[in-house]
């Protein structure tokens, strides 16, 4: 695994005169890339994950709601999966944390909690929380004492405070032009809503300016519904946003920052993820409906068949450039109409994408929209020598105890005729495992992560994985010893 750190936020440096000494540099633009590779021979990265313990402040009369649990669930998912990576040591507040207990994996993002992690010698803080200008990572003198020793994974607090304001971001993108955006209005508690929306056509979408996921977002078909919902939103905010309702296909695009390795020198996007099974016109919050139940990754052929997807991805990547983001962002988009001919509009820029993921007990359905968007194939410029090394290292995985009787086969290149039916895939792996638990152990093993992270992922273009359970009546065919006996007439 590779950890990428703030290309536009230097960590840790002394701030300019008149600014407090802190983890984040106050300068907005400073070209900086850093990474920790699990295959590196340098000392292991010591990573601590932070969760949201602080109440978000009121900013311009608007307060972002705090998530119940403060992202401890996804923080535990991140920390647990990091333990499977060679070259990464995970520091936790509990000795040998229980994978089933999310509270044992992460440190609170208070000054005390962050210092507790720092005093344990961490080299990296993963800020899986909501940041803001007055956050301890930005303001604390005590934390600033570690300025030459620690880096932070995430966006800078000043950037988050500015760009968490959806009205500000959307208006900024409109001023830049070149972005496809829905019509929008801002309403305050003092406004006459009917007057402000006199030229608008229903249905309309009412949403918080500093929201979290789809919470508080509602499609309103008539003015009375909108006024009633606005009253509810005004209880926690002095203003709200109104947007035209986009009725077509909804997708989400994750935009990644440039990488230190040089494989991506500019902003780039993961494959498009389609959203479906909306509730009252809105994709439900992932805390209510897991994204695996209403989302899927589009295939390469689906993206290629509709040029709107390619244009959308380029537009989303340009958002990353304009905002200068230093960590992944997720952009929700939707077609204006329910037609393949309709353009997509960008309607929500998420500075902190959901980062839940499977691995811990009971978390099998907790994939995130970002995590769902990963599939690979070797790039055309990868040498045959590298491919040979990959195959050689991959075959070593047969020695793992979780591989049944060392039965792991790697084959390639394809001998299919015509070769086009292999769709460009060059190698195949077949492995046998006693049960699902053994398969999960194989996928989570440090050896498996080492091979894929070192020899596959940085060089991939596509990957297809297919796991299945063998029917009881066919299991004898997976037992080579039994097959040999049967072939010799012995049962």
What is the domain-level CATH number for residue 411? 3.30.70.100
* 174-194 tens-digit pLDDT: 999 889 999 999 999 899 999
Establish how many alpha carbons lie within 13 A of residue 234's alpha carbon, considering only the half-sphere containing its beta carbon: 14
Interval 61-77: pLDDT, tens: 888 888 889 999 999 99
**Stretch among 97-101, 231-235, 355-359 having the lowest mean pLDDT:** 355-359
Judgement on whether residues 28 and 97 belong to the same structural domain of the protein? yes
* 211 & 97 share domain: no
- Whether residues 267 and 413 fall in one domain: no
Residue 158, pLDDT score: 93
Residue 483 lies in a domain: no
Query: Is residue 80 over pLDDT 60?
Result: yes
Whether residue 360 sits in one domain with residue 394: no
Share of the chain above pLDDT 90, in %: 42
pLDDT class of 12 with cuts at 50, 70, 90: very low
Structure tokens at 18: 């008149």
Rg (alpha carbons) of the chain, rounded to whole number: 25
Confidence of residue 23 (pLDDT cuts 50, 70, 90): very low
Mean pLDDT of 459-486: 57
Q: How many CB atoms lie within 10 A of CB 433?
A: 20
The alpha helices in 66-186, defined as continuous H runs, are: 72-82, 111-118, 136-139, 141-144, 157-163, 166-176
Domain assignment present for residue 38? The answer is: yes
Cα separation of 423 and 378, whole Å? Answer: 12
Q: Which residues contact residue 463 at a Cβ distance below 8 angstroms, ignoring those fewer than 6 apart?
A: 375, 376, 377, 456
Residues spanned by the domain of 190: 183-244
**pLDDT of amino acid 34:** 26
Tell me the CATH number at 314. Answer: 3.30.470.20
Rounded Cα distance, 338 and 334, in Å: 9
| Helix, strand or coil, per DSSP, at residue 81 | helix
CATH no. for residue 195? 3.30.1490.20
The reply to whether 38 and 100 lie within a common domain is yes
Residue 137: count other Cβ atoms within 10 Å of its Cβ.
26
| Rounded CA separation 360/288 (Å) | 19
DSSP three-state, residue 351: coil
> pLDDT at position 6, please?
37
pLDDT at residue 122 in the model: 95
171 domain-assigned: no
Paired tokens of 108: 């609170």
64 DSSP 8-state letter: P
Residue 305 within a domain: yes
Residue pair 399/380 in contact by the 8 Å Cβ criterion: no
* pTM greater than 0.85 (yes/no): no
Q: Per the structure block, which two tokens stand in for 248?
A: 């077509």
- Same domain, yes or no: 53 and 119: yes
Cβ atoms of 208 and 187 closer than 8 Å: no
Domain count, the chain: 4
Is the pLDDT score of 3 beyond 80?
no
Q: Please give the pLDDT value at position 187.
A: 93
CA–CA separation, 284 vs 292, rounded Å? 12
Query: What is the per-residue pLDDT across 250-274, written as a single tens digit (0 to 9) for each?
Result: 999 999 998 766 668 899 998 899 9
């Amino acid at each position: 695994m590779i950890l990428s750190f703030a290309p536009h936020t230097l960590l840790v440096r002394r701030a300019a005169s008149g600014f407090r000494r802190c983890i984040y540099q106050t300068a907005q633009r400073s070209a900086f890339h850093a990474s920790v590779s699990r295959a590196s021979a340098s000392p292991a990265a010591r990573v601590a994950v932070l969760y949201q313990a602080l109440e978000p402040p009121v900013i311009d009369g608007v307060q972002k709601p705090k998530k119940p649990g403060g992202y401890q669930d996804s923080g535990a998912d991140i920390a647990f999966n990091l333990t499977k990576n060679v070259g990464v040591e995970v520091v936790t507040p509990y000795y040998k944390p229980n994978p089933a207990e999310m509270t044992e994996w992460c440190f609170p993002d208070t000054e005390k909690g962050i210092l507790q992690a720092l005093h344990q010698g961490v080299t990296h803080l993963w800020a899986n929380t909501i940041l803001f200008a007055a956050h301890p990572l930005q303001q604390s003198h005590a934390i600033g004492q570690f300025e030459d020793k620690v880096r932070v994974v995430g966006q800078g607090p000043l950037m988050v405070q500015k760009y968490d304001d959806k009205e500000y971001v959307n208006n900024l993108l409109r001023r830049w032009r070149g972005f496809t955006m829905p019509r929008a209005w801002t309403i305050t508690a003092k406004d006459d809503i009917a007057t402000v929306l006199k030229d608008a056509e229903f249905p309309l979408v009412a949403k918080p300016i500093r929201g979290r996921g789809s919470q508080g977002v509602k499609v309103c078909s008539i003015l009375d519904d909108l006024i009633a919902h606005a009253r509810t939103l005004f209880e926690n905010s002095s203003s709200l946003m109104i947007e035209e309702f986009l009725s077509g296909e909804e997708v989400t695009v994750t935009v990644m920052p440039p990488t230190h390795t040089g494989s991506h020198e500019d902003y780039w996007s993961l494959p498009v993820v389609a959203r479906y099974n909306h509730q009252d016109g809105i994709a439900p919050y992932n805390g209510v409906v897991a994204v695996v139940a209403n989302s899927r990754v589009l295939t390469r052929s689906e993206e290629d068949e509709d040029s709107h997807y390619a244009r959308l991805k380029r537009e989303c990547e340009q958002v990353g450039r304009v905002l200068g983001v230093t960590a992944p962002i997720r952009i929700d988009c939707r077609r204006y109409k329910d037609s393949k001919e309709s353009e997509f509009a960008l309607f929500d820029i998420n500075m902190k994408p959901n980062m839940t993921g499977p691995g811990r007990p009971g978390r099998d359905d907790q994939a995130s929209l970002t995590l769902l968007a990963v599939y690979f194939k070797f790039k055309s410029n990868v040498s045959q020598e590298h491919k040979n090394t990959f195959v050689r290292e991959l075959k070593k995985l047969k020695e793992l105890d979780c591989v049944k009787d060392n039965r792991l086969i790697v084959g390639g290149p394809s001998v299919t005729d015509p070769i086009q039916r292999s769709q460009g895939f060059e190698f195949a792996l077949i492995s046998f495992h006693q049960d699902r638990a053994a398969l999960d152990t194989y996928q989570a093993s440090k050896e498996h992560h080492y091979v894929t992270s070192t020899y596959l992922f940085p060089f991939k273009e596509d990957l297809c994985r297919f796991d299945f359970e063998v029917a009881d009546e066919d299991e004898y065919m997976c037992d080579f010893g039994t097959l040999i006996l049967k072939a010799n007439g012995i049962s």
